[in-house]
Every structure is written in C-alpha cells, then in structure tokens.
Amino acid sequence: MSTTYTKKQVAELIDGVLDWETVRRMLFMPKDPLRFSMYIEVLQERAKWEDKIVLPLAPHLYIVEDKNGDIVNKCDCGYVFGPYQENWKLNALIYVRDSVEKFNQVYPKLMSPDAEWQVYREYYCPECACQHDVEAPVPWYPVIHDFEPNIAEFYKWVGLEVPKGIAA
C-alpha cells in the first residue's frame, strides 16, 4: 500500500520547503506511483519553453521532446546540449581546477586535493553558466557519461506513452 501526495506537496518537495513530517512519510512509506507524473507536471508548468519534458536529469537539465519531435538534452535557459543519447557534457563549457591556486578558490589548501593526484572539472551551461556537474577524477580520465536511461522501458514501467522520438 502506498501513500499519495498532492501536486502542491510535490512542488514543495522540489522547492525544498515541504514539511518534515510529510518528507518522513515519503521516506518511510512505499513509493507513490503517481510521483513521476506529478513531478513532470510541476516542472513543465515552470519551464520557460514549450518543449515537453521527458525526463529530468538535474535541477536545471532535462531530456525533452522538441517541437520537431526530436529528443534532446536541454537546459532551463533553453540551451540545447545535443541528442539525448549523447553525453551532454561534451557540449558544455569546462573549467578544470588543477593547481593549488585554483583549488584554493574552493577550499583551504590543506582541505583540497593535490592536483598531482586529482582534479575538479566543473561543467557549465555555455549560455546561463549554470554549474550542472562537478567531476573529481584523476587527470586523463574520459568525460563520464553518468546516466543512459532506458526511457522506452521506463515509460512502460510508469504506464505512460513512450514519446515517438525515443528509440525502442
């Protein structure tokens, strides 16, 4: 048996202002199957563009279906990072912290990594400068494609119609 929540509560969860009692219930009780639909609905209402949200990837990053039916990675600001199957990071801006001075902008020197061992790679939206991700690998490490969702299967799991542009 699962508990159900209102769209308002889901919106408050997104905004980080949902009361703790409800959050606790969300944690303790079986998951509410309608969450995804409500979540998408709230985010869609807030979007500055008309494209249909298929899957949120990060607080300001989505997989969307555009007006041509193409499925792309898109920023809140409207910047498109390319087809959804591709790693959006390859179309972002990158800033690599690889020296004592650069790390010291983030942490005290003794509380940050040694650039001989590790670097921070910050990925920004080229248009709005949102920091969508920070990697902390060793130098040389390939850019990580964090998540390759099987959207077709997922939409079946949640009982939604699979967007046409999604490969089966």
Partner 1 sequence: MNKPESISGGSTTRKSILYNGKTLAQNRADMYNTSKETGHYDGLTELKLKKSDPITFEKIFSKLRAGVVNARETAKKIAASPIVEQEGELCFTLYNTAGDCVCTSTGIIIHVGTMGMCIKYMIENNWEEDPTVNPGDMFTNNDCQIGNVHPCDIATIVPIFHEGKLVAWVGGVTHVIDTGAAGPGSMSNGQVQRFGDGVQITCRKTGINDKPMRDWQHEVQRNVRTPKYWILDERTRIAGDHMIRDIVEEVIADVGVETFLTFTSEIIEDGRRGLVKRINDILIPGKYNTVAFVDVPYMHEDVHVPSPFAKVDTIMHAPCTITVKPEATWRLDFEGCSRWGWHTYNANPTAFTSGIWVMMTQTVVPTERINDGSLFASEFRLPKGTWTNPNDRRTAHADAWHFLVSSWSSLWRAVSRGYFSRGYLEEVNAGNSNPCNWMQGGGFNQEEEIHAVNSFETAACGTGACAMKDGLNHAAAIWNPEGDMGDCEIWELAEPLLYMGRAIKSNTGGYGKYRGGMGFETLRMVHNSADWCMFFMGNGYMNSDWGLHGGYPSATGYRFEAHNTGLHKRIAEGKSLPMGHDWNPDEPDYENHLEPGAIVKRDSQCITTEEIFENGDLYLNYLRGGPGFGDPLDRTIENIEKDLNDVVLLEEYAIKIYGAVFTKDAEGYYTVDADATRARQAEMRKERLSRGTPVKEWMKGERQNILDKKASKQVQQMFASSFELSQPFLDKFRAFWSLPNDWLVTEKELGVPAFGAKHHMDLSQMPDVKTVVLVEE
Site size toward partner 1 (CB under 8 A) is: 77
Candidates 78, 146, 159, 167; binder of partner 1 (CB under 8 A) is: 146
**In this chain, which stretch among 44-52, 53-61, 67-75, 159-167 interacts with partner 1, using CB under 8 A?**
53-61
Q: What single-letter amino acid sits at 29?
A: M
For 49, the token pair is 């563009």
- Of residues 78, 92, 149, 80, the one with CA closest to residue 125: 92
Q: What are the φ and ψ backbone dihedral angles of 89, each rounded to 5 degrees?
A: -60, -30
> How far is Cα 90 from Cα 28, in angstroms, rounded to an integer?
39
Q: Which of residues 7-26 bind partner 1 (CB under 8 A)?
A: 10, 13-14, 16, 18, 23, 26
Q: Does position 85 bind partner 1 by CB under 8 A? A: no
Q: Which of residues 87-126 bind partner 1 (CB under 8 A)?
A: 89-96, 104-114, 116-118, 120, 122-124, 126
